[in-house]
Structure 1
Amino acid sequence: MSHHTRGRKAEPRPVADPIRAVPKPPKDMTPEAKKEWARVMPVLVERRVLSEADLAAVERYCDATGDIAIARARIRKDGDYVANRLGELKRHPAFATLRESTAEARRWAAELGLTPASRSRAGAHEDDADNPLDL
């Protein structure tokens, strides 16, 4: 009998040399992504689960959540359906971005321990019940 581990994520645990202060977000991040950085980084730093090598993962997560916000705003502005060059109504193209970015954000959130399920696999404590990062 084989043991399948496909889809299982590494458990976020405190690292030997954690980041101890919230770093500034990358300069080229969108304002939406910077907002998410400001929301998640203090909690991740407090948990002591990030090293310098992990910052790119947090950046990718924040970029994806920023893209979600941008896509939603565009859909709100333009409506769910837009006319193509022939005048036919088609579903807004931002729905594709929304779908892809949501999937990417979900994957990065699980890797970083930002979901209830990923925290439970990591043996999170009861005091995480009011965690502002629950997605």
Structure 2
Amino acid sequence: MRGRKPKPTALKIVQGNPGRRPLNGREPKPPAAMPTCPSHLSPTAKTEWKRLARVLNQIGLLTQIDRTVLAGYCQSYGRWVEAEKKLQETPTLLKTPAGYIQTSPWLTISNKQMELMVKYMAELGLTPSSRTRLAVNIPSEEELERKKIEDTYFS
């Protein structure tokens, strides 16, 4: 397929449908339940998961089937943090045994992980520009409290 990726119906509803194209009424609707954090994530990635998952779920941008996308972002984040820490300990340019100058492999890893993170962030609405395309209903404190009670008693 060529061209832009089709926009999910949920995003069309949230963002509005300026083109007035028909909405796909048969598009699958994943359960809104909170996905669990994958156990294989690094400690830094798990911390990032905890920071983002609940908020994204509460505003309706994270469902059970989006677990892999968020896990991918979090793992890229964890690797980026690790590479940045290593870059602080080592020089950016290294001299090879043959006498050539090359960039640090940690710089390459850091740049690649940042590139991946930006792609994931756009998918999840985590960048300022991607958020401008969203209009979500943020639940009130009362709604959040009611949801906590429901989750406690009906889970």
Normalized against structure 2, the TM-score is what? Answer: 0.65
| Residue in structure 2 matched with residue 51 of structure 1 by the alignment | 63
The answer for unaligned runs of 5 or more in structure 2 is 15-28, 139-155
Query: Which residue of 1 is the match for residue 96 of structure 2?
Result: 84
Matched, 1:18 2:32: yes
- 1:37 deviates by 0.7
Give the greater-gyration-radius structure (CA): 2
1:84 Cα shift?
1.8
Q: Which residue of 1 aligns with 2:107?
A: 95
Note the C-alpha offset of 1:105. 0.5
Q: 1:9·1:111 contact (CA, 8 Å) conserved in 2? A: no
Which residue in the other structure is 1:6 paired with?
4
Question: Does structure 1 retain, via aligned residues, the 8 Å contact 2:94–2:101?
Answer: yes
C-alpha contact 1:9 1:110 (8 A) present in aligned 2: no
Moved more, 51-60 or 88-97: 88-97
Task: Letter of the 1:17 partner, please give it.
Answer: P
1:59 CA displacement: 0.5
Tell whether the 8 Å contact from 2:59 to 2:137 is kept in structure 1 after alignment. no
Q: Does the aligned pair in 1 maintain the 2:53–2:62 contact within 8 Å? A: no
RMSD: 2.7
CA distance in 2, matches of 1:64, 1:92: 18
1:35 counterpart = 2:47: yes
Partner in structure 2 of residue 130 of structure 1: none
Larger mean Cα displacement after TM superposition, 40-49 or 80-89 = 80-89
Identity of aligned residues (%): 24
Which runs of 5 or more residues in structure 1 are unaligned? 127-135
What TM-score do the two structures reach when normalised by structure 1?
0.74
Structure 1: which amino acid aligns with 2:63?
S
Greater relative contact order (CA < 8 Å, ≥ 6 in sequence): 1
